[in-house]
Amino acid sequence: MMVDEVCLNEALLAGATEVFETMIFMDVRASDEKEQHPKGNTLLGSITFTGEMEGCLGICCSVSCAKAIAQNMLGLTKAEELDEAEITDAIGEVANMVMGSVKSRIQETVGNLNVSIPTVVRGRSLDNSLGDHPNPTRKTLMRLNIADEYTAELSLWHRQS
């Protein structure tokens, strides 16, 4: 069964809100569409899923945003230093938790989804995609405002299997 874009947008925002408020202790809201894709050094946490619907969920944010997320997740003060591995692990875990939250919201419509382990890459101008495939691909894209200080891009590429 096909899940519609409105349902996916709602599941994506509700999933991100739930994770950020309960696990990261940061407020998050959908942001103005005019805001740009994160620039400079960024981290992209992504996680793939298969089943009746297959795809990839990603969260892309600046290194400073990723550091703030990791500090909040670990209950650290801003002055406490994190190493690169801790920051990377935090972004992977955010992708994992948001995917779990989205999955629980849509699985009644799309059936069970098998979820991979998250991967995180660091670089410039990173983008989440499913690559070339004969089946049509759809992308749900949402820009997030995090704690009125940071922006991130949440994306969900998907197609019917």
- Reply yes or no on whether the pLDDT at 124 is more than 80: no
pTM passes above 0.85: yes
Q: Which domain holds residue 144?
A: 5-160
Length of the chain in residues, anyone?
A: 161
Mean residue pLDDT of the chain comes to 86
Residue 151's domain is classified under what CATH number? 3.40.1550.10
Q: Supply 30's token pair.
A: 């959908």
The residue with greater pLDDT, 109 or 129, is 109
The residue written with tokens 């297959």 in the block is: 54
Per-residue pLDDT tens digits for 29-51: 998 756 556 667 899 999 999 99
For residue 134, what are the CA distances in angstroms to 12, 127, 137? 25, 20, 9
Among residues of the chain, what percentage have pLDDT more than 90?
59
Say how many Å lie between the first and final Cα of the chain, rounded: 11
**Residue 42 neighbours by CB under 8 Å, 6+ apart:** 60, 61, 62, 63, 122, 123, 124, 125, 126
The pLDDT assigned to 138 comes to: 77
How many domains, in total, are found in the chain? 1
Lowest mean pLDDT among 33-37, 95-99, 146-150: 33-37
Per-residue pLDDT tens digits for 3-17: 666 688 899 999 999
CB neighbours (10 Å) of residue 128? 21
Contact yes or no for 58/154 (Cβ under 8 A) = yes
